[in-house]
Amino acid sequence: MRLLLLFCCLSVNVLLAQHDDIKWYTWEEAMELGKETPKKYYIDLYTDWCSWCKYMDQTTFTNRDVAALLNEHFYPIKFNAEQKDSIMFNGKKFGFVDNGGRGFHDLAFSLTKGQLGYPSFVFLDEEYTRIMVSPGYKDEFALQEELNFAIAEAYKKMSFEDYQARGSDKATTKTVQKLEKKARKKRLKKEKDHQ
């Protein structure tokens, strides 16, 4: 009986954990979805050899709140910055550039304004305008601050550096709190439906 109860508890925990995963899209999938239901885009530029990229996959991207914010307000895209496949974007064909070393994808180069480093994260608005580029490892708190900056559209009023220096102003805090409350309710409803 104890074994059965333990199995049931573990099964419920596994099911709940699966619903907290980030739904990652390919570039093409996200662009298609964005045509029907506009959202901002969060692009994780990684490489296969990047240990900090892998560490973020195991830590930051497994955080429940990070997953909820990304899934609710963005199309999260995993983009290998050294991939060889060509991509059409905004009427231009982007592809792999062999520079004698590892090479790079010129869409990654374009998105980061030529400042390639891994991991790097690019935020785009619904019309593909760059909100910001954020290089380097982020723990869940740093990433949530960046996500909240984009969600509340504080970038329309100030730079991210000013946002950090000021702390989030009351209007931004209220907006983000409302959006987070809505996302939390939606997440709880999903959990309840799966029990």
Q: What DSSP line would sit under 4-50, residue for residue?
A: HHHHHHHHHHHHHHHTTS---B-HHHHHHHHHHS--EEEEEEE-TT-
Predicted local confidence at residue 7, as pLDDT: 36
Residue 4: pLDDT over 70: no
Predicted local confidence at residue 180, as pLDDT: 65
Q: Which domains does the chain have, with CATH numbers?
A: 21-147 (3.40.30.10)
More confident residue, 181 or 173: 181
Residue 10: pLDDT over 70: no
Q: What is the mean pLDDT of the chain?
A: 85
Residue 28: pLDDT over 90: yes
Give the whole-angstrom CA distance, residue 41 versus residue 76.
6
Predicted local confidence at residue 1, as pLDDT: 44
pLDDT tens readout for residues 30-47: 999 999 999 999 999 999
Helix (H) or strand (E) holding 87: strand 87-89
